[in-house]
Amino acid sequence: MKRMLTGLQPTGEITLGNYIGAIRQMVEYQEKYDSFIFVADMHAITIEQDPAELKKNIRNLLAIYLACGIDKDKNTIFLQSENVYHANLSWMLECLTPYGELTRMTQFKDKSQKHKSFSSGLLTYPVLMASDILIYDTDLVPVGQDQKQHVELARNIADRVNKKYNKELFTMPDALIGTNSKKIMDLIDPTHKMSKSSENKNGVIFLLDSDEDIRKKIMRATTDSDMSIKFDPDNKPGISNLINIYSALSNLSVSEVEEKFKDSNYGTFKASVAELVIDTLRPIKEKYEMYQNSSKIDEILDNGLNVTSKIAREKYELLKQTMGLTR
Ligand code: ATP
Ligand code: MG
Are 221 and 185 within 8 A, CB to CB?
Answer: no
- Give 80 Cα–ligand 2 centroid separation in angstroms: 18
* C-alpha distances in Å from residue 166, one per residue of 151, 158, 280, 317: 22, 12, 51, 17
**Ligand 1 pocket test, candidate residues 4, 6, 18, most atoms within 8 A of CB:** 18
- Report residue 316: phi and psi, to 5°: -60, -45
Residues present in the chain in total: 327
| pLDDT (0 to 100) of residue 180 | 65
- Give 182 Cα–ligand 1 centroid separation in angstroms: 11
Please list the active-site residues: 111, 193, 196
Q: What is the pLDDT of residues 37-89, one digit of tens each?
A: 999 999 999 989 999 999 999 999 999 999 999 999 999 999 999 999 999 99
Q: pTM (2 decimals)?
A: 0.91
| pLDDT (0 to 100) of residue 111 | 83
- Give 264 Cα–ligand 1 centroid separation in angstroms: 31
Longest Cα–Cα distance of the chain, Å, equals: 76
| pLDDT (0 to 100) of residue 114 | 81
- Give 13 Cα–ligand 1 centroid separation in angstroms: 11
Which residues in the chain show pLDDT less than 70? 179-180
| pLDDT (0 to 100) of residue 270 | 98
Domains and CATH numbers, the chain: 3-181+295-322 (3.40.50.620), 201-289 (1.10.240.10)
Q: Which atom of ligand 1 is nearest to the CA of 11?
A: 3
| pLDDT (0 to 100) of residue 55 | 96
Task: Find the residues whose C-beta lies inside 6 A of ligand 1.
Answer: 8-9, 11, 15, 17-18, 20-22, 144, 183-184, 193-197
The identity of residue 14, as a single letter, is I
